[in-house]
Amino acid sequence: MAKVLEFKLPDLGEGLTEAEIVRWLVDVGDVVAIDQPVVEVETAKAMVEVPCPYGGVVTARFGEEGSELPVGAPLLTVAVGADRLEDAGAVAASGGQPAPSGERAASSGGNASAETSGNVLVGYGTGTPAARRRRLRPSALGAVPAAASAPAAAPAPAAPAAATARNGSPGGVPPRAASGSSAHHGAHGRETVRAAAEGPVAVISPLVRKLARDNDLDLRRLTGSGPDGLILRADVESALRAAEVAPPVVPTAPAAGRALGTSALPTGAEERVPLRGVRGAVADKLSRSRREIPDATCWVDADATELLAARTAMNASGGEKISLLALLARICTAALDRYPELNSAVDTEAREIVRLPGVHLGFAAQTERGLVVPVVRDAHTRSAESLTAEFARLTDAAREGTLTPADLTGGTFTLNNYGVFGVDGSTPIINHPEAAMLGVGRIVPKPWVHEGELAVRKVVQLSLTFDHRVCDGGTAGGFLRYVADCVERPAVLLRTV
């Protein structure tokens, strides 16, 4: 007989206490392999696919997409055992109760490890490659003879409440149509979700569905502009803009108690956006930085004409292209070698300044999920080519929402290129617990005195925001002046490294 094990939301590391369910990767009735990803969750740091340490049949799921669960809350239950298909059907029909999550299930040969992973789930998973999942045929699950269930005189145990609410049937087993399952994944990563009587809705990513959900927009009412009617983010945004100019919708009596989304807000009504996920984490960190760090900012204009010319010459010589951000990072690490006070942190309890041995360089990246700061490990040991490749890798991962918690933690200094937003200067908030941040504005042609004559040069504004506890203005000014000298005369960098 199958044994039902409960899988709880694991500790995802870095002090995270909750996560939001973005997308379920399995349905009730699916057969899952050990360490197969079963749900995609969003933490305050990254989008994470959570693998299940049990192999067997999913009998219940807990939590709707978009809901937030604390660490340790049940995610799903899995029926494991010798004869998984038959036993899962019997458990689903009888409403069997799950065993403790740490308990091992025996297989037909008595080998407990055959159905569970012995690994500890922290961060991204358990280390074993995920296998392709299989679905149970409609007849394999739920088609349990009446004689195999409890005696007729005894009422059947109640099905798990969350599973019943999620799937609309006892035991968490969804009703299956003869044509197949209620959801499937397309060839290009899209997921087709079948509504009760509306037909399929094609979406390409959880971000599109989350945008619609947060704004109370029914995707079934949209016509996608992508291939095969695929609903894109632009389609959702277009519908939201149309809703803003449409006459306000007055909710009917049954819906009056429901929280209004953006598309249903009456004219002049306020909108409340929850501070959670990445936005909440950013808010907490920035607030702490402002409370704890006595910051100051200094800035200087620099002629970046020679730096741009050096980059052009390097890229013209062949090989991998070098980014401007990588050259600025090289300048930063050289400056931190000369002024190590700025590559430090403050231990407030011990009242000590902690000088850090290596430079783990963070860089600000704006994404659909909000502002994130990926970290380039050991930036002081990397060449311009290596820095370029790592910046590209982390930027792509940030845009796709696949950064790991390790990619977003451990920074010692931040490089903030806000020039990409078309602005000249800024006084950013330090990325706690770091001690400083270098800001780089846009590079634009400006009148400049060059070699005693007025000329049009490519000028950039550089700013340094620093923790006044770790150094005084002389050190901060020396750091910023050295950075400006390297920007204006890249040969300075060659002489000092």
Which residue ranges of the chain lie beneath pLDDT 70? Answer: 1-2, 12-16, 44-45, 81-207, 245-267, 494-497
Partners of 231 in the β-ladder: 203
pLDDT digits (tens, 9 = 90+) for 11-44: 766 556 778 888 899 998 888 888 889 998 877 6
pLDDT of 403 reads 86
Per-residue tokens: 451: 């070699």
pLDDT of 438 reads 97
pTM of the model: 0.54
- Catalytic residue, chosen from 185, 188, 450, 468, is 468
Orientation of helix 324-338 relative to helix 473-488, angle to 10° = 140
Q: 3-state class of 286 per DSSP?
A: helix
pLDDT digits (tens, 9 = 90+) for 429-465: 999 999 999 999 999 999 999 999 999 999 999 999 9
pLDDT of 140 reads 38
Per-residue tokens: 31: 């057969």
pLDDT of 16 reads 65
- Told to judge if 360 belongs to the known catalytic residues of this protein, a careful annotator would answer no
pLDDT of 179 reads 35
Q: Give all strands (DSSP E) within 1-147, no chain letters.
A: 3-8, 18-24, 30-32, 36-42, 47-52, 56-61, 68-70, 74-80, 134-135
C-alpha torsion 284→287→292→294, nearest 10: 140
pLDDT of 176 reads 35
Enclosing H/E stretch for 359: none
Q: 3-state class of 217 per DSSP?
A: coil
pLDDT digits (tens, 9 = 90+) for 103-142: 443 333 334 344 555 444 433 344 444 444 444 433 333 3
